[in-house]
Amino acid sequence: MKHLFSILTLAAALIAFTIPARAQYGVGSMGAAYGPATLSIGTNSTIQLNSTNTPNATIDARFFQNLSLQAVFQMSGTESPAPALTFTFQQSVDGVNWSTVGNKTWGITSSGATNFTTAVTNFVVGGVGWWRLNTIASAATNTVVTNLVVSYAIKRAAP
């Protein structure tokens, strides 16, 4: 009977210490299963006429299954048809040497000069551990992109 009581006490203690640890780190030991974050693009939140900005903002995707991206921006000026932004992402297996061919692109046509444009897309990460927003290009000749915010959300791979 003493052994049974000792075993039950030990099991209760293990459960009591395990629950707060799981709550602190989300699902499993890898952190939250899903969560949004803003990509740091620095001064690249404004893109001038017919230009390309190079933020080189990195996303650590080593434990990701999917990468969801959202861009929100506004155009200041008038142009018809509505201009587009093109985002180019490079990939790397070590976070140092970046792809120069086969990069992933995402094109977004704006919803007009006075409206905010919000667009969302997904990429399957596969086995590539690092993604980097290399360039943001605007082909607009009469419209400046302002208030650009790029966010990403990750969905961790199942343990």
pLDDT(30) > 80: no
Q: Which of 50, 111, 120 is nearest to 81 (CA)?
A: 111
What pLDDT does 82 receive?
76
Average pLDDT over residues 64-88: 84
Is pLDDT above 80 for 77?
no
**What is the rounded distance in angstroms from the CA atom of residue 143 to the CA atom of residue 137?**
13
Give the tens place of pLDDT for each residue, 82-97. 778 899 999 999 999 9
- Inter-residue contact 74 to 147 (CB < 8 Å): yes
- So what's the pLDDT on residue 44? 67
Sequence letter at residue 141? T
* Cβ atoms 108, 85 nearer than 8 A: yes
44 or 31, which is more confident: 44
User: How confident is the model over 107-157, as pLDDT tens digits?
Assistant: 998 877 677 899 999 998 888 999 999 999 988 888 888 888 999 987 665
- The C-alpha atoms of residue 96 and residue 91 are separated, in whole angstroms, by 10
Q: Are 150 and 69 in contact (CB under 8 A)?
A: yes
> Quick one: CATH architecture of 33-156?
Sandwich (2.60)
The predicted structure's pLDDT at residue 39: 86
Model pLDDT, residue 1: 58
Give the CA distances from residue 107 to residues 71, 121, 133, 135, in Å, rounded to whole numbers and listed in that order: 11, 10, 13, 12
pLDDT band per the 50, 70, 90 thresholds, residue 6:
low
Tell me the Ramachandran region of residue 126: left when phi exceeds 0, alpha when psi lies from -120 to 50, beta otherwise.
left
Average pLDDT, stretch 49-55?
86
Exposed, middle or buried, 86 (CB in 10 Å: 0-12/13-18/19+)?
A: middle
Q: Does residue 43 register a pLDDT over 80?
A: no
The mean pLDDT value for 37-41 works out to 84
Report the candidate in 150, 73, 51, 57 with the shortest Cα–Cα distance to residue 118. 73
Q: Are 42 and 133 in contact (CB under 8 A)?
A: no
Q: Are 122 and 131 in contact, with CB atoms under 8 Å apart?
A: no
Looking at every residue in the chain, the average pLDDT score rounds to: 77
* pLDDT > 90: percent of the chain: 29
